[in-house]
Copies of this chain bind each other. A is one copy, B any other.
């Protein structure tokens, strides 16, 4: 049984609280949020205790793990404190928008032997995981190309996006992680293009809402990612692995398996899942189960802090390529 403290009681924090509470092998003890009423609501709904400072958590030896779902700019500070207090950590992505700060965080905690898992939940999606497995288990021969489609259902207000770090660090970072997960090796070249096609006001904040990437891995495998802040037909999430002996596609999913036939169309299905909480419901649960099992067994959690840092560096490279129009080469050594 793992005792959790949850930091952050917003939309995603609420979901995590429910997931923790539904598991026999986990218990939610504390909920913290800078906005106290949010913490109180989530705590009450899940039989936990709302707290107003995180010290209570850090000093309570019964707390085994913290789940960090606060705003991005607080992640690093909370990671450092929790790590120094010896708590296992499951932190939402990204670690921070600034890789320098991520690196400094790493320095600070390098002596702490706590497990830190970054919330790239899509690795735990059964269909994406099956695609990654197909890319690596040899059944289709060696992997040659990866094509990832990543389109959010709707665009947040430009005002909000201002502090998002840009489309690569905020949104496509998931796909950098997915690419690394599927490839099972590092990406060494990144080229990016982008446009303001959904809302041209996005250019005022130096960002784009539509982007395409081509990347090359150490052994020469090719990767494409296309992303958009708005897909009118729902949350479009596909991973295609093209191999020597075949191909596997983790395709989109609909809420029901109903197909409709009418005078004008056939085999119509329902719209895609609206967004991540619906689409990745299983992934969020499986991510948590994996974290719990590894923490209890003392085995490594995954994806790791270093996975989070590397996805971040790929996002930085993409941003640089977008801005300079040039290929960015990464040396990982």
Chain A residues with CB under 8 Å of chain B are 22, 24, 45, 126-127, 130-131, 134, 140-142, 144-145, 147, 149, 151, 189, 191-198, 210-216, 220-224, 226, 228, 231-234, 236, 242, 244-272, 325-327
Contacts and interface: CB of A to CB of B under 8 A. Distances in A.
Given A326-B326, A326-B327, A258 B226 contact: no
Q: Which 4 A-B pairs have the closest CB atoms?
A: A195-B220, A233-B261, A127-B256, A246-B262
Contacts of A252: 257, 266
B271 A247 contact: no
**Count of this chain's copies in the oligomeric assembly:** 4
A217 to B, nearest CB: 9
B22 A260 contact: no
Nearest to A223: B212
Contacts of A189: 193
26 contacts: A127-B258, A144-B197, A145-B212, A145-B226, A145-B228, A191-B191, A192-B214, A195-B216, A196-B220, A197-B220, A210-B222, A212-B214, A231-B247, A232-B246, A233-B247, A236-B247, A246-B260, A246-B263, A249-B259, A249-B261, A250-B258, A252-B266, A266-B268, A266-B270, A268-B269, A326-B326
A125 to B, nearest CB: 9
A141 B195 CA distance: 17
Nearest to A144: B197
A249 to B, nearest CB: 5
Contacts of A271: 263-266
Nearest to A234: B266
A22 B21 CA distance: 9
Contacts of A195: 144, 216, 220-222
A251 B240 CA distance: 14
A211 to B, nearest CB: 7
Contacts of A212: 145, 214, 222-224
Contacts of A130: 256, 258, 270
Contacts of A144: 195, 197-198, 210, 228
Contacts of A254: 266-267
Select the residue from A142, A258, A269 with max chain B CB neighbours within 10 A: A258
B272 A266 contact: yes
Given A127-B257, A250-B256, 11 more contacts: A130-B258, A193-B214, A211-B222, A212-B223, A213-B214, A232-B263, A233-B262, A246-B263, A251-B258, A253-B257, A266-B271
A265 B269 contact: yes
B266 A233 contact: yes
Contacts of A232: 141, 244-246, 262-263
Contact of A257 (B22, B193, B250): B250
Contact of A226 (B210, B224, B255, B259): B224
A224 B233 CA distance: 20
A242 B145 contact: no
Contacts of A215: 193
Contacts of A272: 261, 266
Contact of A126 (B193, B247, B255, B266): B255
